[in-house]
């Protein structure tokens, strides 16, 4: 299993991800995507968008991040979107109480104290109120990981929504929130979309967009951040059919990760023990990160909670009227909700491989990102074998031609082996070399990243060759 530090260091060195505002010391919980990162991110989003909306029953929207503040009253986020927070009186460090307990359980398991770990885990799964977390922390004398102190404050609620103000006056009347989930932009537009695009249940609305949560603790690189993107789809169905659609969407979403090259043994299902305030059933797809399994996407059966609440808070009907069967109802909703940055990190970890090879007679290690060709930031690299005899000019022309269709890099620096290695490390599936024979018969070699095997093809066939493999 690759170490998280290895992934973070590769991500920075090769321009996938940088710490936000690094020159000022960084800002906790915020990250910037570099030149290769933004390509991978876009490829993930584009593949998701294609899979979810290039079909008859789903359309897309792009709603604003800041919404009418009543949205968050109706959705329950003002009252309930909070985490249990606890402070250590000695170190003044602040924690999410459930995470503090989970961390303690992990340490017990590492020390092979399995019975005690299981006992605490069972209690954690039953926690309903702040006081339940507090009791576990006190009963088991859980220490502050920073200071070792067991002197704790009470557990309090901490609302995760970022507040800001609309207009020039910073007072309560102008208070708005950065959306903590993109889903509400879909719910408030349910009627608009249904009427404008003449959809009827079962149908879905998909959206990719930023969400913000003022997480108490950020951790594990891109896993828990304060600004992130979601790829969400709400599927509106007739009440009573939600169980079947829940199963349908579970299968669809699992298969998408496999089609994008995820190794099935690195994924698992995790049913929710505790349900969010809006759900009557929920299950997560988890990926095995270097720090353990973690959620990358949730499939939630949200009942008619959101639409009914928006109906009562706005006074606007959120019903579907079926004129043929003479019935009207507020649809139930199955939601698929994935994090773009979590998928990004999962695909990065999934792709990372180190391979022993013999290079120029010596044993060496090849670092290779085995991305599916659809996700790889760069699809094709073009090299002249040597920088003379017209090869650079020929290769550069191919590079320019292929740029119309794919993300292509041109590289003339260093030995050919080195150039292959640089592309392997960023996951480029195809490397094309112009050599002496190219100048005679217009053929080039194409080397495939994983097998390292080479084909020789005519220059007129390059685009077709790559298209077929993508």
Q: What residue ranges bind ligand GAP (CB under 6 A)?
A: 181, 183, 213, 215, 224-225, 228, 230, 232, 295-298, 335, 337-339, 341-342
Closest chain position to ligand GAP (CB): 339
Q: State which residue, 228 or 394, has the beta carbon closest to ligand GAP.
A: 228
Q: State which residue, 225 or 309, has the beta carbon closest to ligand GAP.
A: 225
Q: State which residue, 84 or 384, has the beta carbon closest to ligand GAP.
A: 84
CB of residue 307 to ligand GAP, shortest distance in Å: 14
Q: State which residue, 183 or 431, has the beta carbon closest to ligand GAP.
A: 183
State how beta strands 380-384 and 408-410 pair. parallel
Nearest one of 282, 333, 327 to 307, comparing CA atoms: 333
Question: Partners of 241 in the beta sheet?
Answer: none
In whole angstroms, give the CA distance from residue 379 to residue 383: 14
CA distances from 122 to 86, 127, 129 (A): 20, 9, 15
Q: Is 13 left (phi over 0), alpha (psi -120 to 50) or beta?
A: alpha
Cα-to-chain-centroid distance, residue 401: 33
In whole angstroms, give the CA distance from residue 408 to residue 130: 54
Those residues whose C-beta lies under 8 Å from the C-beta of residue 391, and which sit 6 or more positions away, are 384, 385, 434, 435, 436, 438, 439
CB of residue 322 to ligand GAP, shortest distance in Å: 27
Q: State which residue, 295 or 425, has the beta carbon closest to ligand GAP.
A: 295
CB of residue 423 to ligand GAP, shortest distance in Å: 29
CB of residue 302 to ligand GAP, shortest distance in Å: 8
Nearest one of 105, 93, 97 to 145, comparing CA atoms: 93
Q: State which residue, 43 or 337, has the beta carbon closest to ligand GAP.
A: 337
Q: State which residue, 33 or 430, has the beta carbon closest to ligand GAP.
A: 33
Q: Give me the helices (H) in 413-453, please.
A: 416-426, 436-441
DSSP label at 62? Answer: -
């Amino acid at each position: 299993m690759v170490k998280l530090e290895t992934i973070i260091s590769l991500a920075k060195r090769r321009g996938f991800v940088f710490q936000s505002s690094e020159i000022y010391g960084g800002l906790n919980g915020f990250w910037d995507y570099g030149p290769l990162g933004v390509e991978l991110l876009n490829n993930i989003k584009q593949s998701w968008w294609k899979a979810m909306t290039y079909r008859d029953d789903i359309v897309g929207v792009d709603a604003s991040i800041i919404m009418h503040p009543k949205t968050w009253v109706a959705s329950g986020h003002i009252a309930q979107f909070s985490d249990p927070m606890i402070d250590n009186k000695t170190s003044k460090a602040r924690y999410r109480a459930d995470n503090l307990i989970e961390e303690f359980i992990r340490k017990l398991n590492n020390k092979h104290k399995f019975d005690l770990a299981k006992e605490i885990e069972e209690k954690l799964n039953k926690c309903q109120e702040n006081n339940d977390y507090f009791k576990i922390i006190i009963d088991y004398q859980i220490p502050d990981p920073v200071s070792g102190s067991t002197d704790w404050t009470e557990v309090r609620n901490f609302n995760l929504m970022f507040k800001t103000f609309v207009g020039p006056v910073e007072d309560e009347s102008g208070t708005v929130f950065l959306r903590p989930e993109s889903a509400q932009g879909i719910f408030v537009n349910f009627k608009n979309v249904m009427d404008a695009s003449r959809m009827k249940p079962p149908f879905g609305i998909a959206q990719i967009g930023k969400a913000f949560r003022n997480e108490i603790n950020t951790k594990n690189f891109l896993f828990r951040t304060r600004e992130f993107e979601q790829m969400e789809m709400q599927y509106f169905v007739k009440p009573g059919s939600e169980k079947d659609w829940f199963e349908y969407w579970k299968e669809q979403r699992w298969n998408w990760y496999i089609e994008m090259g995820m190794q099935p043994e690195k994924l698992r299902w995790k049913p929710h023990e505790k349900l969010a305030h809006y759900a009557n059933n929920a299950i997560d797809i988890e990926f095995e990160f270097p720090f353990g399994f973690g959620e990358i996407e949730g499939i939630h059966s949200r009942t008619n909670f959101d639409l009914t609440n928006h109906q009562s808070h706005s006074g606007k009907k959120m019903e579907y009227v079926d004129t043929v069967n003479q019935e009207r109802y507020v649809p139930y909703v199955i939601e698929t909700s994935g994090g773009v940055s979590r998928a990004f990190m999962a695909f990065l970890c999934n792709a990372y491989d180190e391979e022993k090879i013999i290079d120029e007679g010596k044993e060496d290690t090849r670092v290779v990102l085995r991305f599916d060709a659809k996700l790889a930031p760069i699809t094709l690299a073009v090299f002249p074998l040597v920088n003379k005899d017209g090869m650079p000019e020929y290769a550069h022309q191919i590079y320019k031609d292929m740029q119309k269709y794919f993300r292509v890099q041109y590289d003339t620096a260093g030995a050919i082996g080195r150039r292959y290695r640089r592309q392997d490390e960023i996951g480029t599936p195809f490397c094309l070399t112009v050599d002496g024979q190219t100048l005679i018969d217009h053929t080039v070699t194409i080397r495939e990243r994983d097998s390292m095997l080479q084909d020789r093809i005519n220059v007129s066939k390059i685009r077709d060759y790559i298209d077929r493999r993508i």
